[in-house]
Amino acid sequence: MAAPGNDSTTVSLTEVQIRQRTRILKDIVARYAITVGGISVIMAVVLIFFYLLFVVIPLFKPAEIEEIASYRLTPPGIGDQTLHLAMEEQAEIGVRFTRSGLAQFFFTRSGAIITKQSIPLPPQTTITSFASGAPHSAIVAFGLSDGSAILVRHAYRVIFPNDKRVITPRLDYPLGETPLVIDSTGRPLRLLAVQSNEEQTSFGAITEDNRLLFTHFSSEESFLDEDESALERSSVELKGQPKNTRFLLLDSEQQHLYTANSEGALSVFDLSDKQQPNLDQRLPSVTTGSKITAMNLLTGGISLMIGDSGGRISQWFPVRDESGKSILTHIRDFDAQTAPIRFLVPEFYRKGFLAADGSGQLGIYHSTAHRTLLVEQVGQDKLNQLAISPRANALLGEDSGGNIHFLRIDNEHPEISFSSLWGKVWYESYAEPDYIWQSSSSSDDFEPKLSLTPITFGTLKAAFYAMLVALPLAILGAIYTAQFMAPRMRQIVKPTIEIMEALPTVIIGFLAGLWLAPVLETHLPGAFALLLILPVGILLFAYLWTHLIPGSIRHRVPDNWEAALLFPVVLFLSWFSFAISPILENLLFNGNMIQWLTHEMGIAFDQRNSMVVGIAMGFAVIPTIFSMAEDALFGVPKHLIRGSLALGATPWQTLMRVILLTASPGIFAAVMIGLGRAVGETMIVLMATGNTPVMDLSIFQGMRTLSANIAVEMPEAEVASTHYRVLFLAALVLFALTFVFNTLAEVVRQRLRKKYSSL
Amino acid sequence: MIHNWFKSGSPWIWLSAAAVSISVLLVVALLGLIAARGLVFFWPKDVLQAQYQDQAGSSYRLIGEIQETEEIPTARLKESGVEPPGDQVAYTRYLVKTGNRDSLGMDFRLVLPDFLTNIEYPTDLIVVERREWGNLYGYLKQVKENGQVVAEGKAAVAELNKRLERTLDLFRQIRHIEKNLIGAINYELEQLRLEERKLNLDNNHDPVKRTAIATRRSELQSRYEVLQKQRNNLFPQFNRDSFSAEIMDGRVVEVSLSKVVRFYFPNAMGLGGKINHYFGKLWEFVSDEPREANTEGGIFPAIFGTVMMVLLMSILVTPCGVVAAVYLREYAKQGFIVRLIRIAVNNLAGVPSIVYGVFGLGFFVYFLGGNIDALFFPEARPTPTFGTPGILWSSITLALLTLPVVIVATEEGLSRVPRSIREGSLALGATKAETLWRTVLPMASPAMMTGLILAVARAAGEVAPLMLVGVVKLAPSLPLDGNAPYLHLDRKFMHLGFHIYDVGFQSPNVEAARPLVYATALLLVLVIIILNLAAIRIRNRLREKYRTLES
């Protein structure tokens, strides 16, 4: 009998053991699962910050270059000097133009020649000068010894047979293969400048006998035949160029002709009237002692870049003075190089440029951002020629030894620097340096204006006005609710206000934009009158109530129900203010306050202005501040209050000297949290302001905030573009701002909690 | 005396009391405003007819309903080019909805009541709601069939009623064919195209599969043609009837019944009729699709989209939030790091929602979505499947946004579970996991519920991040439909909050859309307040429960 019994106990013991083991196993599994799960959830949350940072960081990376290939073109053409290098869009094919009139197309990676063509020169003429047009036009011109010039364009046809890209280069002669007469006296052209587009072509030239000529061809489309177009030529000799002119430039709009000599004397000709260009300006452009060694125009043709023998590069563009006259003005300098600048090569679509100096150093710069992205030695020798690809991702350089270097450029976001994000920047065609946010435009040679200052300013302005509305209401309200209000009323009031915290801001914003803004616009004097009438009226009522109303009526209202008593008073006063609004407007402002503001005071008025935002967003943050401040005030230990009252202090004295003092960190935390919320709020500002990025403290003007800016522009920003990353940066700034406010609040609150528990 | 009164501090107490009153009044006023404007939207307003005659000599017959009444100062009135009739300081001005946008060019007019004479409310004024061009106000003249008059005068009403019923029935049939049947075929055809493309990409020349696709396709094509024919046969019938009506400028306009949604005679309606109409419109509002660039019709897709997104979000956020909270409270070693994490989590609740939107767009949509597309949907490229904003990314983004809410609420619930209960369970030999699972979590479940409800309330009202990660003004199809796999997580969706923003601010005819925006806002506010009240009630009950436990 014992054996089976024994048996069963051992069996059950192992069962228990197994169960025990699985239980322990389960416990361990649960522990690890929860630990891993919990940590990964927290990691995911932290990831937000790092991801934002990860997207933003490339903005501040310097440029990098990397040599991919170096070769000599075959056949080299002994003694044949390279005049110009260029690349097509993909940077797969390059072209080299030489002094003997040869154009060689070659693969940029290998240097293998694809085709070569000779420019058709008339017999007994030689090439005496060379010029290239705006980079994206792919125009070059050769000046000849007989006073004529020939216009050439290198063009590329891209086809995709079998899904593979095949590029075929060719030379075009937009104005025909016969040379165009520039100098009718037939003297050789010593210097040449050219610009050409569909409608017109301009040449500037200096002849061997130092005459400056401006020759203009416009293509008049023939009425009879659409393909046939007649060329209309005009040519004038210009006076006033500096002696020994070495530099001659035309802008891509064919509006200005720049001439300069090495000593820095600069003359600008205005070409608005092609028949009668006139000398616009003469000015010295470099400091005495240094010489101009390179000159070029940035894309868009507005900024003139001048490189001097000291390695300094200065940027100039026309700025209108008070009288409306454009004056070529010195804007900024780049001082990163020391040897004489030999070439300045503009990027195709951005306001960046490359500079090669006499010591073989290459600099990559961006003008708007005032940023030096890279200065690095390229090759052993100094560079004789330099070209950048249209996408600014590759460069070709020929050193003095005749070697061609093909380099990859990694320079995605040159337009961003600390100064372009936060400082005043002097943008092209602007009268003075300014903070401007204007991220996109239809034009190709647009200068993006990415200053975060105006939108950060807008954010803080919106938050400021919101706090102006919210702080008094929320904090006074919290004081009253926590300290004076009857408990039964508090039970209703607190949840009512707290529920508003959950109210979608889109609803507040929509009411602010569509209801409040028009109402305020029509009742502006009333709104301002309310600011005065409300407190005065309430005090008046309080005085009358406590002093004139007989006690028999007064005592029917239970203690600490003042707030309920005030409901009708506040309603009446608000109604009254708005009702007298038209009367006030007639009495004080000739019937229209907005017109009065604009005409008499010179204050512009937006319908959706800071006042609307202040009220709407103030309303949105009241519950946040109220609820937290009330908690802090209510949590003040009761024995402190009783002690104070017992010592004879009035309730008000107790409040001011004891309660507020004790709870002040909590109130501070509440304000911080409210501020954080106001800074980050999107929908209200999106709907209740005009979203114009102006920097103006006026209460009657709108603003654009960081958050609204992201909401408006993010969907359109191209992935990984500078604009996209700057918007991420805006998000990061927002994140940082709120993080600071919240952390401050949290730390203060935790301390307060400790303090209360010790009291 | 006044000096003493001020010294006593009592005025300041009154002022602070006023602050509370103002705050509460603001809340009440806001809710009242939304409710008042949102609720009257469906009520059929009387349509007035009057002779308009102003100082400048312009004179016409005005037919329309008064949409808004406002007080306007005289100077402003002058500025808008209207010579005031007298020398009052301000005048009342009506915003009258005259409808007939197709004939009159604009459907709203601002008029001073002083210029109106012979105001009357004729009972035979008809209001016709149309699918295009907004309402028509006027007098019913004739009902026609294929251009032939079939009824005139009094008889026209009954005839119109009968024929409208028939046309609406046809409309439903055509819509069923177009949306459901043809929609399903188009969907399947697209799937077949993708399947074939995939075979091409994989270099799979399996003839069986290819013929299967081809047969299926021709089968679908033929079915499509049948449906197409069926639909085309319905059209002439659908367009058969029309009616003509005299509008306010005396012109008689003809409107095809195929464009009519409903008609009614507001001035002839009794209270019962109005109530009936009211609820009819209310039902249309919550169950129908929007018309006329969202300014008319219902908001069903927006309600559906919001609910769907919030559901998905809840499924994601609850386990994550609870696990994180349990880890922080029960497993992590309490110390500096955990305190830091807690501060960070609290902080995240205060991070602006748009930042989550930016993160969602960059990380989920472009990075994760782009990679998912490259790996799993190469056949659909370059059209993105998941690499574009959609409901999945929206719900994940909002889950992340509401995660701190759930974590904080759950942690609070866990911390309220008395130590004694935990210790009791452990003392009886339960493991930590068992203690958690059997005693602590059930006791904290109301707190989790509270957290979830608060999260849902926040997510339902959040718009800014959604604008970046998946919401659209008009989604062609719902994220849940009859085509396998039924739940389409890659689709874009409509959302109540965004609907308010879009219709109120991006709509071409803001004036006409405004009442609808108020109604939508009211719906959203109601949902959110109910959710919050529920959360508060649960929280209070929870507190009661533990109070009894602790004692």
Write the pLDDT tens digit of every residue in B481-498. 777 778 888 888 899 999
Q: How far is CA B448 from CA B32, B369, B410, B452, B537, in A?
A: 32, 31, 5, 6, 13
* Contacts with A506 from chain B: Cβ below 8 Å: 461, 463, 497-498, 500-501, 524
Q: Are the CB atoms for B432 and B423 separated by under 8 Å?
A: no
Q: Are the CB atoms for A235 and A180 separated by under 8 Å?
A: no
User: What is residue A476's predicted lDDT score, i.e. its pLDDT?
Assistant: 92
Triad A518, A524, A526: Cα angle to 5° = 120
pLDDT in tens, A121-178: 888 888 889 998 888 888 999 999 888 899 999 999 888 887 788 888 988 888 888 8
Quick check: B17 and A586 CB within 8 A? no
Let me know if domain B147-239 sits in CATH 1.10.287: yes
How far apart CA A162 and CA A143 sit, in angstroms, is 42
Mean pLDDT for B96-104 is 83
Site from A507, A719, A742 to mutate, B interface, most B CB atoms within 10 angstroms? A507
Say if residue B177's pLDDT is above 50: yes
pLDDT in tens, B346-393: 888 888 999 999 999 999 999 998 888 888 887 777 778 888 888 999
User: What is residue A710's predicted lDDT score, i.e. its pLDDT?
Assistant: 92
pLDDT in tens, B71-94: 777 777 777 777 777 777 778 888
pLDDT in tens, B30-48: 999 999 888 888 888 888 8
Assess if residue A131 is contained within a domain. Answer: yes
Tokens of B49: 């007819």
Quick check: B72 and A522 CB within 8 A? yes
Mean pLDDT for A730-739 is 89
Mean pLDDT for A683-709 is 87
Please, which pLDDT band fits residue A11 given cuts at 50, 70 and 90? Answer: low
Q: Choose the final residue of a domain: A223, A251, A284.
A: A284
Please, which pLDDT band fits residue A223 given cuts at 50, 70 and 90? Answer: low
Quick check: B504 and A746 CB within 8 A? no
User: What is residue A5's predicted lDDT score, i.e. its pLDDT?
Assistant: 45
Residue of B nearest to A56 (CA): B362
Location of structure tokens 């310097």: A62
Q: Choose the final residue of a domain: A222, A252, A284.
A: A284
**Least confident range of A492-496, B367-371, B518-522:** A492-496
Say if residue A77's pLDDT is above 60: no
Please, which pLDDT band fits residue A377 given cuts at 50, 70 and 90? Answer: confident
Please name the member of B13, B320, B361 whose beta carbon is closest to the beta carbon of A484. B13
Quick check: A715 and B467 CB within 8 A? yes
* Contacts with A612 from chain B: Cβ below 8 Å: none
Residue of A nearest to B68 (CA): A515
Say if residue A304's pLDDT is above 80: yes
Please give, rounded to a whole number of angstroms, the shortest distance from the CA of A594 to a CA of chain B. 10
pLDDT in tens, A99-120: 888 888 999 888 888 888 888 8
How far apart CA B325 and CA B320 sit, in angstroms, is 9
* Contacts with B403 from chain A: Cβ below 8 Å: 41, 45
User: What is residue A1's predicted lDDT score, i.e. its pLDDT?
Assistant: 42
Q: What is the 3-state secondary structure (H, E, C) of A345-396?
A: EECCCCCEEEEEECCCEEEEEECCCCEEEEEEECCCCCEEEEEECCCCCEEE
Q: What is the 3-state secondary structure (H, E, C) of A47-115?
A: HHHHHHHHHHHHHHCCCEEEEEEEECCCCCCCCCCEEEEEECCCCCEEEEEECCCEEEEEECCCCCEEE
How far apart CA B268 and CA B277 sit, in angstroms, is 12
Say if residue A96's pLDDT is above 80: yes
Say if residue A3's pLDDT is above 50: no
Mean pLDDT for B284-292 is 85
Assess if residue A551 is contained within a domain. Answer: yes
How far apart CA A457 and CA A693 sit, in angstroms, is 9
* Contacts with A481 from chain B: Cβ below 8 Å: 20
DSSP 8-class letter at A122? P
Please name the member of A496, A502, A742 whose beta carbon is closest to the beta carbon of B457. A502
Where would I find the H helices in B462-509? 464-469, 496-501
Please, which pLDDT band fits residue A364 given cuts at 50, 70 and 90? Answer: very high
Say if residue A8's pLDDT is above 80: no
* Contacts with A652 from chain B: Cβ below 8 Å: 8-10, 12-13
Say if residue A631's pLDDT is above 90: no
Torsion sign over Cα B357, B362, B363, B366: positive
Backbone conformation region of residue B136, classed left if phi is above 0, alpha if psi is from -120 to 50, else beta: beta
Say if residue B467's pLDDT is above 80: yes
Q: How many domains does chain A have?
A: 2
Residue of A nearest to B29 (CA): A571
Tokens of A129: 């000068």
Please name the member of A481, A510, A565 whose beta carbon is closest to the beta carbon of B504. A510
Among the listed residues A218, A243, A248, A252, the one whose alpha carbon sits nearest the alpha carbon of residue A232 = A218
Say if residue A222's pLDDT is above 70: no
Quick check: A522 and B71 CB within 8 A? yes
> How many beta-carbon contacts under 8 Å exist across A and B?
343
Write the ipTM. Answer: 0.87
For residue A162, the domain's CATH number is 2.130.10.10
Quick check: B21 and A566 CB within 8 A? yes
Q: Which residues contact B3 (CB under 8 A, 6 or more apart)?
A: none
SS3 B146: coil
User: What is residue A229's predicted lDDT score, i.e. its pLDDT?
Assistant: 63
Please name the member of A30, A504, A710 whose beta carbon is closest to the beta carbon of B433. A30
Quick check: B403 and A474 CB within 8 A? no
Assess if residue A390 is contained within a domain. Answer: no
* Structural domain boundaries, residue A222: 121-284
Say if residue B470's pLDDT is above 70: yes
User: What is residue A227's predicted lDDT score, i.e. its pLDDT?
Assistant: 54
Residue of B nearest to A720 (CA): B362
Quick check: B25 and A571 CB within 8 A? yes
Site from B354, B373, B466, B528 to mutate, A interface, most A CB atoms within 10 angstroms? B354
Q: Report strand pairing: B48-53 vs B125-130.
A: unpaired
B252: part of which helix (H) or strand (E)? strand B252-256
Mean pLDDT for B307-330 is 90
User: What is residue B354's predicted lDDT score, i.e. its pLDDT?
Assistant: 92
* Segments of chain B assigned to CATH 1.10.3720.10: 305-550
**Residues of chain A with pLDDT > 90: what percent?**
16
User: What is residue B395's predicted lDDT score, i.e. its pLDDT?
Assistant: 93
Quick check: B461 and A35 CB within 8 A? no
Among the listed residues A470, A525, A397, the one whose alpha carbon sits nearest the alpha carbon of residue A70 = A397
pLDDT in tens, A419-434: 888 888 888 888 888 8
Q: How far is CA B142 from CA A538, A706, B243, B252, in A?
A: 63, 58, 6, 10
Quick check: B21 and A24 CB within 8 A? no
User: What is residue A2's predicted lDDT score, i.e. its pLDDT?
Assistant: 44
Q: How far is CA A479 from CA A41, A461, A471, A636, A648, in A?
A: 39, 27, 12, 12, 20
Quick check: B5 and A543 CB within 8 A? yes
Assess if residue A244 is contained within a domain. Answer: yes
SS3 A538: helix
For residue A631, the domain's CATH number is 1.10.3720.10
Quick check: A45 and B404 CB within 8 A? yes
Quick check: B504 and A513 CB within 8 A? yes
* Segments of chain B assigned to CATH 1.10.287: 147-239
Please, which pLDDT band fits residue A471 given cuts at 50, 70 and 90? Answer: very high
Please name the member of A475, A539, A747 whose beta carbon is closest to the beta carbon of B11. A539
Mean pLDDT for A230-236 is 83
Q: Are the CB atoms for B492 and B470 separated by under 8 Å?
A: yes
* Contacts with A509 from chain B: Cβ below 8 Å: 501
User: What is residue A74's predicted lDDT score, i.e. its pLDDT?
Assistant: 67
Quick check: B362 and A581 CB within 8 A? no
Mean pLDDT for A66-85 is 78
Mean pLDDT for B163-192 is 86
Q: Choose the final residue of a domain: A284, A319, A347.
A: A284
Would you identify the CATH topology of the domain B305-550? MetI-like fold (1.10.3720)
pLDDT in tens, B394-427: 999 999 999 988 998 899 888 888 888 889 999 9
User: What is residue A79's predicted lDDT score, i.e. its pLDDT?
Assistant: 62
Quick check: B431 and A591 CB within 8 A? no
Q: Are the CB atoms for A482 and A630 separated by under 8 Å?
A: yes
Quick check: A735 and B5 CB within 8 A? no
Residue type, A153: R
Higher pLDDT, A250 or B2: A250
How far apart CA A454 and CA A435 sit, in angstroms, is 6
Tokens of A676: 């954080």
Among the listed residues A420, A242, A429, the one whose alpha carbon sits nearest the alpha carbon of residue A328 = A429
| Other C-beta atoms lying within 10 Å of the C-beta of residue A78 | 6
Residue of A nearest to B506 (CA): A687
Higher pLDDT, A334 or B249: A334
